[in-house]
Structure 1
Amino acid sequence: SYPNGIPGLGDTFHKIYFCLLQVEAIEKRCLELFGRDYKYSVIHNTNGEVCGHYPRQIVYLEYECTEVQKDRFESTVQISKLQDLVNRSKLARCRGRFVCPVILYNGKHICRSSTLAGWGELYGRTGYNYIFSGGSDDTWTESEEVPEDDSAVRNGDSQLFDKVRGHDIKLLRYLSVRYICDLMVENKKVKFGLNVTSSEKVDKAQRYADFTLLSVPYPGCEFFKDYKDRDYTAEGLVFNWNQDYVDAPLTIPVCFTNNLNIDWSEYQSWDLVEQTQNYLKLLLHIINSDDESGLLVHCISGWDRTPLFVSLLRLSLWADGAVHASLEPAEILYLTIIFSLFFLLWQIFFFCFNFLKHIVSEKFSAIRKQRYGSLSLFSLFICHCLSPSLLLFLLQSQPCVDDGVMLLSVLRRKNTTSSPQMVVWSKPPPLDEHLSHPLSEARSSSSSSSNQSEHSVTRTGSSPLAVPGRRCPFPSERQARLEAVREVFLAAYSSTVGLKSSAPSPSGAISGLLEQFARGVGLRGTNTIV
């Protein structure tokens, strides 16, 4: 019963059909997860007609809301207008990967894309579209031309660039994007002596001069092979900035460097951990600026470094309760992988989630917390009114890190000045100190939590009062949420892909990972085999 009498072809069709059913189920589940917290619209890209490198359904988040608020507000963007701008602007960027909003934070769009297309790709794509559209190309029939009073030099090249990049700029402005963060280590990507891509920072006509451009060079996928060769250890791994093709300087406006306490002049000496931490701090600082402007992040093709930082932003903001607030750890992990992280290299894919252990600190939080609020004043009050034993009980159960620390410091001062009793806090080792390898972390995560040594609060003249290790110091909600995502990921990754396989099957590995996460979000039962 093989079609056309070709053995095996029927099985192939069945596999393709089964994969399509899987994709539809995954898409449906992702839309449901988006819909928990947002009103959204969809740009359909079923056959890749908009962009062959983006999902089949491109989700545009309109505003944050609860279920009962879904139809109470109106979006500031018309989806038909947005889709029209997308179709006109996609030629401006490499591989047609147009500016796409992927995170909505405080009404601001965080977008991703590839870099600007060079003349070779631009002419190739416009020629292809012209031939296969029967001689009519929307890029050329658009009635909106460049203003006549533009004094730039006019020739065929500049007019074409004016037109397609002009559409790209219109899309950026329609999405209220002001800041463009370029992760390329090059000014232009060069292959075989030809400039194959460009970037906003070297646009000769200064078309993007009204935007705030940040050049934050970050190593690409080739560098992460070194990460794998070093047994997936990012500490001490420093990029070689002296290579011939590396010519993009670090360029950051002064307004974004004042309050971060980072010596940016040392960036070439940072290892992969410190560099990623500092760049993430910068991006969080930008989106927390007082204006209502959005952010675009891109590298060259937009499918390794770009989704890495977009995913870290999504997970960091989620850990603060600022985006996707209703999602559980397995759900945000599922959503992040589907819409951001189909990397070409598994090394970057693994690095993204394993790196979460380096951003659990409150200094990466987008939420500005007041250290000495009303609860702290209440802490001052109870320190003078309650017995030491009750104080210690409250100290153990204190949910707020800053106020718990303040309560302890006030208690110390009280006992030092007015009582012979002393309180000594034994600081535990870092949570990851006992883990020597990422793979061993996944295997020992469940057992290590139950076997952690206890620490104690000791009072002079009395026996130590045991305090569970997780309370010493108090883990913040942010830390607990990020650690939960990381544990789910490591468990699924080690059981499907693994860290030692030199050439895992991409389709099999992806299917295994998605199966693990799908079970976590209720998409499939535990007895289903992919």
Structure 2
Amino acid sequence: MAASPSVSGSLTASGLTLSGRKSEEIADLIDLFSKTQYRAKEVSRRVETIEKRCLELFGRDYKYSVIHNTNGEVCGHYPQQIVFLEYESTELHKDRFESTVQITKLQDLVNRSKMARCRGRFVCPVILYNGKHICRSSTLAGWGELYGRTGYNYIFSGGTDDTWGAESEPEVPEDDSVRNGDSQLFDKVRGLDIKLLRYLSVHYICDLMVENKKVKFGLNVTSSEKVDKAQRYADFTLLSVPYPGCEFFKDYKDRDYTAEGLVFNWNQDFVDAPLTIPACFTKNLNINWSEYQSWDLVHQTQNYLKLLLHIINSDDESGLLVHCISGWDRTPLFVSLLRLSLWADGAVHASLEPAEILYLTIAYDWFLFGRNFIFHSSRQIFFFCFNFLKHIVSEKFSTFGMRKGHTSSPQTVLWNRPDPMHERLAHPLSQEAKSSSSSSSNQSEQGFARAGSSPMSVPGRRCPSPSERQVRLEAVREVFLAAYSSTVGLKSSATSPSGAITGLLEQFARGVGLRGTNSII
């Protein structure tokens, strides 16, 4: 029976109100992000609300524990409550399983290994996919930072430094006579970093730095696994995938936010990190990696994302670490793209709607991990991240296409959709995107078993069609553009001959309901 006009009208009003409330929530988040850098020891009630909201969104689909970082005692610019995702579970069953993770041991390893990395930004798991932990961090700390911190700890702890503890002392080779003080200190801190990586079953390390070591004023201020002289990280698979830092994105702004045709200058003096990828990860991607220095920003980001997706879809149970220098611009860029790409396939955060996964990604991956959005270069890489979603809507980026041949399952887990009428109103672009997308011939249901830390198998999921993936990512991008335009906005380069800024402003206008067209540029 058709709904009466009064019922239909109330449903329409309810859908618009809900959509508007979620958009306002994201706009408020971006507004705070644009004015305040998160510090764990200076948390306001507004920030506490954001932290609680993130925990609630994680709890929709996962059983998790918390690594405590009260007042920034572990890391001053990591969340006060760092989420460790243990396994995926539904609301019905999540309380029936006891945790298999020794969270106290993890907390201890975190406390003792934090000095190994720049700014104390230790290896932190942020995404759980198919039983594998995808982690983030900064790069390895250099000798200057290590000695500075150990001296500080020694002075302010009354002449003792129990950062590592006697039980954590690494074994020293018999030829200790050839070791100097620097090597022994690195043995300690990097040995503990390696213990943490192994505890999290991380085997792959993806380094986004364009330098082998970060040099300032002629001094090596940071290092990296790929140039560790003692080859302490030789048992890990190291990938050097140099990607330009946030300073480069000023050029993105100067070109009116057009990434097509924007190529990084690889001939600069400080750029010395080569592209190094094991053959096992290149043979199936159909990418000519030798041409990477000629790629524009779009193709480079697309190809690196394909590589990361290929790694986490490999047959082993090993996790992945992604890091740049400080771990707060390029790192959240790729962590966010991974989270959103996997979500679009229904592979992570399956119950979250577009506005909810957008909120979680902005709040947790960017704001609560301490990125200083006040710097304009940070705003540009942040904007690029979510505007870039239009470039990864195709099936080429779908995890299901990379996992063909796995056992199928009839059970489907999707994010909760509103009434179709509400969806058309809340996301007017979705219907055209769905109809204009090519239909997929690969409609078979594919699933995969949970491995690693999970105490149970997770139900398989139906493979969404490319149009389903496209609708999801475009819905996220649309909400982001509307919220960003109403808070931070974009400033066009006055001398630019390009008309791209006009197109972006048109997108914003449509996002906030000032245009009637039903297409996405």
Asked if these proteins are the same fold (TM beyond 0.5), I'd say yes
For 1:446 and 1:258, how far apart are their aligned partners in 2? 39
Which of 250, 270, 280 is the matching residue for 1:225? 250
Q: Structure 1 residue 483 and structure 2 residue 496: aligned? A: no
Tell me the equivalent position of 2:490: 499
Per-residue displacement from partner, 1:279-310 (whole Å, max 9, x unpaired)?
A: 00000000001000000000000000000000
Q: Structure 1 residue 69 and structure 2 residue 34: aligned? A: no
Could you tell me which runs of 5 or more consecutive residues in structure 1 were left unpaired when the two chains were aligned. 1-16, 376-444, 453-467, 503-530
Which of 266, 273, 276 is the matching residue for 2:298? 273
Tell me the equivalent position of 2:287: 262
Per-residue displacement from partner, 1:331-379 (whole Å, max 9, x unpaired)?
A: 0000001111234411011000000000000110111389999x9xxxx
Residues 92-107 of structure 1 aligned to structure 2 (within 5 Å): 92-107=116-131
Q: Structure 1 residue 250 and structure 2 residue 275: aligned? A: yes
- Equivalent residues of 2:241, 2:277 under 8 A apart: yes
Per-residue displacement from partner, 1:102-136 (whole Å, max 9, x unpaired)?
A: 00000000000000000000000111111112222
Which of 137, 142, 156 is the matching residue for 1:132? 156
- Equivalent residues of 2:430, 2:475 under 8 A apart: no
Tell me the equivalent position of 1:119: 143
Could you tell me which runs of 5 or more consecutive residues in structure 2 were left unpaired when the two chains were aligned. 1-40, 373-377, 409-425, 440-465, 494-521
Could you tell me the TM-score, scaled by structure 2's length? 0.73
Q: Structure 1 residue 470 and structure 2 residue 445: aligned? A: no
Tell me the equivalent position of 1:36: 60
Per-residue displacement from partner, 1:50-108 (whole Å, max 9, x unpaired)?
A: 10011121111011101222233344421100000000000000000000000000000
1:470 Cα deviation (Å)? 1.9
Residues 128-207 of structure 1 aligned to structure 2 (within 5 Å): 128-139=152-163, 141-151=165-175, 153-207=178-232
| Percent of pairs with identical residues | 84
Aligned residue for 1:348, secondary structure, equals helix
1:496 Cα deviation (Å)? 0.8
1:322 Cα deviation (Å)? 0.4
Tell me the equivalent position of 1:7: none
Residues 72-471 of structure 1 aligned to structure 2 (within 5 Å): 72-139=96-163, 141-151=165-175, 153-342=178-367, 343-344=371-372, 345-368=378-401, 470-471=435-436
Q: 1:194 to 1:320 in 2, by over 3 A?
A: same
Q: 1:501 to 1:88 in 2, by over 3 A?
A: farther
For 1:446 and 1:140, how far apart are their aligned partners in 2? 52
1:46 Cα deviation (Å)? 2.6
Equivalent pairs, count? 402
Tell me the equivalent position of 1:515: none
Per-residue displacement from partner, 1:25-47 (whole Å, max 9, x unpaired)?
A: 11111111100000001112231
Aligned residue for 2:399, secondary structure, equals coil
Aligned residue for 2:133, secondary structure, equals strand
Moved over 6 A (4+): 369-373, 445-450
Which of 72, 81, 100 is the matching residue for 1:57? 81
Tell me the equivalent position of 2:504: none
CA RMSD of aligned residues (A): 2.6
Aligned residue for 2:127, secondary structure, equals strand
- Equivalent residues of 2:139, 2:223 under 8 A apart: yes
- Equivalent residues of 1:139, 1:164 under 8 A apart: no
Q: 1:150 to 1:208 in 2, by over 3 A?
A: farther
Which of 22, 26, 46 is the matching residue for 2:50? 26
For 1:180 and 1:319, how far apart are their aligned partners in 2? 24
- Equivalent residues of 2:434, 2:467 under 8 A apart: no
Tell me the equivalent position of 2:515: none
- Equivalent residues of 2:132, 2:317 under 8 A apart: yes
